[in-house]
Chains A and B, each alone.
Chain A
Amino acid sequence: MATISLSEPDAARAVPPTARAVRLPTQWLGVAPFFLFAILFLIAPTAYLILGAFQTPNGAFTLNNLAELWQPTIRAAYWISIKVSFASAVIGALIGLAIAIAIVRGGLPRWVRSATMTFSGVASNFAGVPLAFAFLATLGRLGLVTIILRDIFGFNLYSTGFNILSFSGLTLTYLYFQIPLMVVIITPAIDGLKKEWGEAAATLGATQWQYWRMVVIPVLWPSFLGTVILLFANAFGAIATAYALTGSSLNIVPILLYAQIRGDVLHNPHLGYAIAFGMIFITGMANVFYIWFRTRSERWLK
């Protein structure tokens, strides 16, 4: 008896052929709850909206809803959403990269790195309504920074045309969760830069600049681009911060969709579906690129 151990691969494999054939359908029972859950509450609702975007109220096929997205208000909403998401993604990625390089490669004490990583974990999750409050308290008309600039430096921030309830204000606010997210994601990639590469480059007579231009940047490039896209999608779907910051005065896509869901402000339910479809399309395309860059970058990080 004791000679047959089930954990021994050969013995285990010798038994199943018949057993496995019988088990094949029941095997799927184990994942059935998950698939049922995902289909009912993730895939079906999304598919419902996507199909609705291509239908008239009577259920006939149409491309009219998508064509109506081109009307000025909706087009402007998409445009400002894309601008804010793009600006906050690119700026956030560059600053996040600089901070990550500083803490990994800058020869700073060890606590700086662990403190930065912990804080980044917190800040990348500190989004939504409270973040808007924090920035209103900082850069709003009565915010601390606004007041200090005015009273101590004699500089009136709001006379320069700056407004926290605007494109630049929203971008500045989004950076508060974009930069930490970049730091969290890109730090492992910078850790993956092997010391040997620097030594090899130095042995071959490369200058510091050549090492960066011909080794570091090409290796980090795919991770960098991939993360920029992730940050873009992250900002594009966000609504709570913008809504709490600006009410409905800044017309970005999620706020437009929010108003449409609440009160059919566009007087065409299927146009709401089309807006939702447009959002999925943009974040979906972004993620296709993300996955593509990701698989390219992983080659170097083994």
Chain B
Amino acid sequence: MKAGKFWAWLTFGLGAAYFIIPLLATMEFAMRMRRGTYSFDAFAVVFGDPRFQQTFGYSVVAAFFTILLGVLIVVPTAYWIRLRMPHIRPVIEFITLLPLVIPAIVIVFGYIRMYGSNSPLPFLGSARGTDALLVIGYAILALPYMYRAVDTGLRTIDVRTLTEAAQILGAGWGTIIMRLILPNVLIAVLSGAFLTFAIVIGEFTVASLLNRPAFGPYLQNIGANRAYEPAALAVITFVVTWGCMSVIQMLARFAPKSANRPD
């Protein structure tokens, strides 16, 4: 047992070293900007760069709309499947997992070929349309995570009884979804939302191929042209990802643990 514990600590220690050293190294590199001494100059340069503010702002707005679109698509669907059409659930689950199978670069390649300015749906004909297509693409990339989160949330409430109770009280579908289902799965939706945010904020492939001024292409551009700023940006991105994941962990603590009627 003693030997087992030793090996466990050794494995954990080596693993921890592999994961922590690059973070320390990145931080150290970012602070090397001023010659001969450590400073936060690189961070100051990054935060002062108007393109940083613009692209980061753009990605935050894109993430917001992605979450909105994802919720609008996923919540009613997952609810309806649980309520009325459990038999087609495997089909829906299969579709929601497809974005993990089809690489993002392939999906966006399809968009570029299908939605050009001469097509029946000319998304790429205008800047606004391309923004919309970017958000749609992100919603597709986030679909597996969003659907899983919402479906797990719905599992903890008794959808059928709640719906019937609401209908007896005279509620329409809009009221049921907005005032009954959504508040009940809010925590699940929020954890899906933060995961979506973490995925979208530094996304490179889709934004770059659609030529949108997002944070991901900006990161790549800085990486190709600067020395110390990329390290500072990596630290910032890591902190943002860390923040999103911590919020998800905290939300999980508030989520209802037991189901009324587990199925």
Contact = CB atoms under 8 A, between A and B. Distances in A.
B171 interface: no
Interface stretch (A57-65, A196-204, A219-227, A277-285): A277-285
B111 A45 contact: yes
Given A7-B161, A27-B85, A279-B106, A106 B11 contact: yes
A126 to B, nearest CB: 5
B65 interface: no
Does more than half of chain A's interface fall in helix, strand or loop, or is it mixed? helix
Contacts of B102: 42, 46, 237, 280, 283
B5 A131 contact: no
Nearest to B137: A41
A258 B219 contact: no
A248 to B, nearest CB: 11
Contact of B216 (A128, A261, A262): A128
Given A105-B8, A240-B216, A287 B101 contact: yes
B103 A254 contact: yes
B109 A261 contact: yes
Top 4 A-B pairs ranked by shortest CB distance?
A106-B8, A45-B110, A237-B103, A144-B25
A300 to B, nearest CB: 21
B178 interface: no
Contact of A130 (B95, B105, B238, B244): B238
Contact of A134 (B25, B136, B164): B25
A182 to B, nearest CB: 11
Interface string B65-100: 000000001101100110011001000100100111
Interface residues of B, number: 85
Interface stretch (B48-56, B181-189, B199-207): B199-207
B77 A34 contact: yes
A133 B220 CA distance: 9
B176 to A, nearest CB: 12
A102 B234 contact: no
A244 B106 contact: no
Nearest to A106: B8
A31 to B, nearest CB: 6
Contact of B245 (A30, A121, A175, A239): A121
A217 interface: no
B92 to A, nearest CB: 7
B180 interface: no
B24 interface: yes
Contacts of A116: 12, 15
Contact of A279 (B88, B103, B242): B103
Contacts of A112: 12
A137 B76 contact: no
Contacts of A301: none
A133 B230 contact: yes
A37 interface: yes
A144 B18 CA distance: 13
B249 interface: yes
Nearest to A99: B15
A6 interface: yes
